[in-house]
C-alpha cells in the first residue's frame, strides 16, 4: 500500500570500517566501510503487527545514498553504493564528509568501538499475505501472515550506537513514523471492518479516502483542565472532612446501638465509597433504624435489639456447653448474653423474641402459635409483617448453629476408636471409587548414562469404597414449645450426634469383624498369627515378627513398622501393662536376659468393646490386632463426602399450620477394608 507520509524501515547490522591508505604527499585516503545488511528474510519491526520482508527486486536506489550519524542529516559521514543481487544487500562506501561526525565515527571504530548500521528504506507499496497463504520474494517462499514491501526506495543509513538486534534486526528510524502506525492502526482497521470492508483487499485509493473520512470524524480532545493549587487542597480537605463526619456519626450510632455495629459499619462504608453527603448518610441511617408504622407492627425499643450471635451464646450458656466452645463467641458477646438472659433463655422466649424482631406484633402475649412461629422463621403468615430496621435475628441460623455445636458433643461422647485406626478418604460424590494397593515395586533404580528413568509398578490389588447417606429426623414439638423447654434445642441435637457416631461404628465394625471370615486375615496372606498369639511378651514378639516379615509383591521387605495394638476390652489392661512400664520382670534361670521392657512406647494401645460384642459376626474376646499407622498404610478406610465424617444437622419450620420445628441429622460415609499387609491378626491362643 502506498502512503502519503512515507515511513522508513531501519535495518541494523554490524559495520566494518577500514582506515584509509597513505597516499603521495602524506595525505591519507578516506576510510572505507562495508556492511552486509540484509539477507532477504523476515524482519521483526517495532510498530508492525506482523513480520516484514523487503522485496529486493522492487527496491529502488536514491540519487545519492548518504550515511550519517544517528540519522541526522546535519551530521553526514560519507556516501555509499549498494550491491543488490536480488536476494541480499551489501553497502560499500567511503567516509568522505569533512565533519566532526565523520571523525567521531571513524576514529572510535579504529579504536575498537563497534558501530551498527541502521538502514533507511521508504516503503511505497506493501502487500499483506494472510494466514494460510504464501508469497514469493528474494528467491524465498513466505507463509502469512507477513507484510512484503513490493516497492520501496533505499535512502541511506545511519551509524548508530545500538540497534534492535546485533545481526539483522529491524527498527524504525528516528526521523519517521511507522507505516503500520500511520496507515493501518488497530482502531482505523476496526472502523473499516465495522463498515463492512475487508481492510486487506482495499486499493491504495480506497484506503486513502477512508482514512481521510476517519480522521475527519476524530474530534480532538479538549485539553485537560488544570486544577489550581488552592482548589486542589480545598477539595482534598473537604473530602477528608466528609469522611471524618460520616465516621463520627457512625461511631456515635454504634455507641447507642452496639448490636447493630456490623450493619452500621456497612452503611458507613457504602456512604464513603458512593461519595454521599453527610446529610444523606444521616438520613439513610435514621431511616434504616426507625420501625415502619402500620398495623401488626411491634415498635420495640431499639436499645433492646440483639444479634443472632448473642442469642446463640445465650443458648450455649443455658445448655452448659463446654467453656472452650463458649469462648469462641468472645468476651463481649458472652457478657451481653449473660446480662440479658442470665443463663435461662427459654424456647418460647426465643420464638417470641425472633418473631418480634422480625416485625411481628405479639400484643404482649406470651403464647406461641403458628403465626408467631412462622414470623420467627421470617415467613409471612396470614397477617401482615414488616421488618423493623436492621434484621439481626435469623432463628433458622441460630437453631442450626447451636444444634451443630451440641451435636458435636453427642458425637464425641461415643467410642471414637474407629476414627483413630482408619484413614479418611475425601470423595466428591456417591460413586464407587477404586484405590490401587499402596504396595508395589517402587524401589528406585540407577539412572544410566542416557538419563532414562524406568517405571515403577503399583500392586496388582485394588480396593473399592463408596459413601452412602445415613439420616434420621427428630422434632421439637408443640409441647416442647408450650413448656418453654430449651432442652429440646440442646438434648435433641446431642442425641442426633450420638446416633450418627453409633451408626458409623455399626457399619465400621460390621465391615472390620467380617474380615477374617472373608479371608482378609489368612495364612495365605501372611497376616495372621495362630501360634504364640496370646497377649504376652512372647505373643507380642511372635506377632511382630510376622508383621515385619511381610513383603511387597516383588518379595522385598515391606519396610513398615507396626504402630497400634487394637485389643478387646478384656485385654486392655494387659496390653497397657506390657507396653507402659519402665521394665518387664523376666523369671527363670537364664540370667542373660535383660529386664528392660523392649516394647515400652512401641505401640499405641486402642481398645473397643465392639471387638467382643456378640451382636457382630466375627466377635472375639481374645483376638487382637497389630496394625500400621493408618496414615502410612491403612487396614480400613472411611469414605466421607467432601471429607466430612461428622454429621450435619439442619432445621426447618414444621409443615404449614403445624406448631413445631423439624430437625434432621445426616452423614455421608462408607467403610471398606483396604491393605491386607497393614495389620496382623493374633488369634489370642498360646502356643
pLDDT tens for 50-73 read 788 888 888 888 778 888 887 777
Residue-level pLDDT at 290: 40
Distance CA 260, CA 214 (A): 59
pLDDT in tens, 550-563: 988 778 888 899 99
Cell of 555: 518379595
Yes or no: say if 312 and 398 are a contact pair by the CB < 8 Å rule: yes
pTM, to two decimals: 0.50
- Residue 453's pLDDT band (cuts 50, 70, 90): low
Please provide the average confidence, as pLDDT, over all residues in the chain. 76
Q: DSSP 3-state assignment of 623?
A: coil
686, with CB counted inside 10 A (0-12, 13-18, 19+), is exposed
Instruction: Kindly state the average pLDDT of the residues 172-201.
Output: 54
Residue-level pLDDT at 298: 30
pLDDT in tens, 460-487: 566 788 888 888 777 777 777 767 666 7
Residue-level pLDDT at 386: 38
- Residue 297's pLDDT band (cuts 50, 70, 90): very low
Long-range contacts of 619-622 (CB under 8 A, 24+ apart): 619/513, 620/568, 620/684, 621/568, 621/570, 621/571, 622/534, 622/535, 622/568, 622/570, 622/571, 622/683, 622/684, 622/685
Give the rounded percent of residues in the chain with a pLDDT score beyond 70. Answer: 69
Does residue 672 carry a pLDDT above 80? yes
DSSP H or E segment with residue 322: none
Instruction: Kindly state the average pLDDT of the residues 654-678.
Output: 79
Higher confidence at residue 82 or residue 174? Answer: 82
- Tell me, rounded to whole angstroms, the distance of Cα 242 from its chain centroid: 38
Residue-level pLDDT at 390: 40
pLDDT in tens, 204-230: 555 655 665 666 555 555 555 555 777
Does residue 639 carry a pLDDT above 60? yes
Q: Which residues contact 489 (CB under 8 A, 6 or more apart)?
A: 315, 319, 347, 350, 399, 402, 403, 406, 476
Higher confidence at residue 379 or residue 542? Answer: 542
- Helix residue ranges per DSSP H, 483-605: 487-513, 537-548, 572-579
Highest mean pLDDT (candidates 30-34, 90-94, 140-144, 512-516): 512-516
Amino acid at each position: 500500500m502506498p502512503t502519503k507520509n512515507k515511513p522508513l524501515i531501519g535495518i541494523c547490522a554490524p559495520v566494518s570500517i577500514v582506515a584509509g591508505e597513505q597516499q603521495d604527499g602524506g595525505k591519507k585516503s578516506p576510510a572505507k566501510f562495508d556492511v552486509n545488511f540484509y539477507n532477504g528474510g523476515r524482519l521483526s519491526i517495532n510498530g508492525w503487527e506482523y513480520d516484514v520482508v523487503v522485496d529486493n527486486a522492487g527496491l529502488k536506489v536514491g540519487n545519492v545514498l548518504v550515511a550519517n550519524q544517528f540519522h541526522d542529516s546535519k551530521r553526514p559521514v560519507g556516501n555509499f553504493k549498494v550491491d543488490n543481487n536480488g536476494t541480499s544487500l551489501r553497502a560499500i562506501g567511503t567516509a568522505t564528509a569533512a565533519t566532526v561526525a565523520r571523525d567521531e565515527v571513524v576514529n572510535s571504530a579504529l579504536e575498537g568501538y563497534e558501530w551498527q548500521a541502521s538502514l533507511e528504506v521508504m516503503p511505497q507499496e506493501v502487500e499483506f499475505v494472510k494466514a494460510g497463504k504464501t508469497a514469493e520474494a528474494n528467491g524465498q517462499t513466505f507463509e502469512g501472515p507477513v507484510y512484503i514491501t513490493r516497492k520501496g526506495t533505499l535512502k541511506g543509513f545511519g551509524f548508530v550506537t545500538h540497534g534492535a538486534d546485533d545481526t539483522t534486526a529491524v527498527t524504525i528510524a528516528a526521523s519517521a513514523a511507522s507505516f503500520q502506525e500511520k496507515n493501518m492502526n488497530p482502531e482505523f482497521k476496526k472502523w473499516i471492518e465495522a463498515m463492512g470492508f475487508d481492510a486487506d483487499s482495499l486499493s491504495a485509493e480506497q484506503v486513502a479516502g477512508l482514512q481521510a473520512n476517519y480522521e475527519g470524524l476524530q474530534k480532538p480532545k479538549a485539553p485537560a483542565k488544570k486544577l489550581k493549587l488552592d482548589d486542589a487542597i480545598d477539595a482534598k480537605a473537604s473530602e477528608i472532612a466528609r469522611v471524618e463526619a460520616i465516621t463520627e456519626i457512625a461511631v456515635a450510632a454504634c455507641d447507642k446501638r452496639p448490636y447493630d455495629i456490623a450493619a452500621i459499619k456497612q452503611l458507613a462504608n457504602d456512604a464513603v465509597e458512593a461519595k454521599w453527603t453527610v446529610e444523606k448518610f444521616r438520613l439513610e441511617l435514621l431511616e434504616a433504624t426507625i420501625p415502619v408504622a402500620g398495623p401488626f407492627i411491634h415498635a420495640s425499643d431499639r436499645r433492646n435489639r440483639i444479634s443472632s450471635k448473642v442469642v446463640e451464646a445465650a443458648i450455649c450458656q443455658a445448655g452448659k456447653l463446654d467453656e472452650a466452645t463458649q469462648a469462641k463467641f468472645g468476651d463481649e458477646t458472652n457478657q451481653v448474653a449473660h446480662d440479658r438472659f442470665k443463663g435461662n433463655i427459654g424456647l418460647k422466649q426465643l420464638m417470641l423474641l425472633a418473631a418480634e424482631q422480625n416485625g411481628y406484633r405479639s400484643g404482649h402475649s406470651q403464647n406461641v402459635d403458628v403465626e408467631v412461629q412462622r414470623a420467627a422463621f421470617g415467613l409471612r403468615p396470614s397477617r401482615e409483617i414488616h421488618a423493623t430496621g436492621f434484621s439481626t435475628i435469623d432463628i433458622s441460623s441460630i437453631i442450626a448453629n447451636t444444634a451443630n455445636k451440641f451435636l458435636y458433643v453427642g458425637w464425641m461422647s461415643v467410642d471414637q476408636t474407629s476414627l483413630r485406626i482408619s484413614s479418611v478418604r475425601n470423595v466428591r460424590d456417591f460413586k464407587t471409587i477404586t484405590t490401587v494397593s499402596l504396595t508395589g515395586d517402587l524401589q528406585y533404580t540407577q539412572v544410566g548414562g542416557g538419563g532414562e528413568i524406568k517405571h515403577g509398578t503399583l500392586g496388582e490389588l485394588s480396593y473399592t469404597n463408596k459413601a452412602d447417606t445415613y439420616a434420621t429426623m427428630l422434632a421439637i414439638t408443640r409441647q416442647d414449645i408450650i413448656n418453654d423447654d430449651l432442652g429440646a434445642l440442646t438434648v435433641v441435637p446431642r442425641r442426633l450426634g450420638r446416633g450418627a457416631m453409633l451408626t458409623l461404628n455399626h457399619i465400621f465394625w460390621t465391615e472390620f469383624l467380617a474380615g477374617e471370615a472373608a479371608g482378609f486375615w489368612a495364612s495365605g496372606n501372611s497376616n495372621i498369627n495362630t501360634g504364640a498369639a496370646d497377649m504376652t511378651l512372647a505373643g507380642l514378639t511372635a506377632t511382630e515378627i510376622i508383621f515385619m516379615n511381610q513383603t511387597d509383591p516383588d518379595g522385598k521387605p515391606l519396610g513398615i513398622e507396626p504402630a497400634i495394638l487394637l485389643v478387646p476390652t478384656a485385654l486392655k489392661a494387659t496390653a497397657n501393662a506390657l507396653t507402659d512400664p519402665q521394665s518387664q520382670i523376666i523369671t527363670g534361670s537364664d540370667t542373660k536376659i535383660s529386664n528392660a521392657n523392649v516394647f515400652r512406647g512401641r505401640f499405641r494401645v486402642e481398645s473397643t468393646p465392639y471387638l467382643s460384642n456378640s451382636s457382630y459376626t466375627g466377635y472375639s474376646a481374645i483376638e487382637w490386632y497389630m496394625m500400621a499407622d493408618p496414615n502410612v498404610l491403612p487396614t480400613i478406610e472411611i469414605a466421607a463426602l467432601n471429607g466430612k465424617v461428622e454429621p450435619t444437622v439442619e432445621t426447618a419450620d414444621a409443615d404449614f399450620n403445624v406448631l413445631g420445628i423439624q430437625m434432621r441429622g445426616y452423614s455421608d460415609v462408607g467403610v471398606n477394608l483396604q491393605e491386607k499387609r497393614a495389620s496382623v491378626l493374633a488369634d489370642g491362643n498360646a502356643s
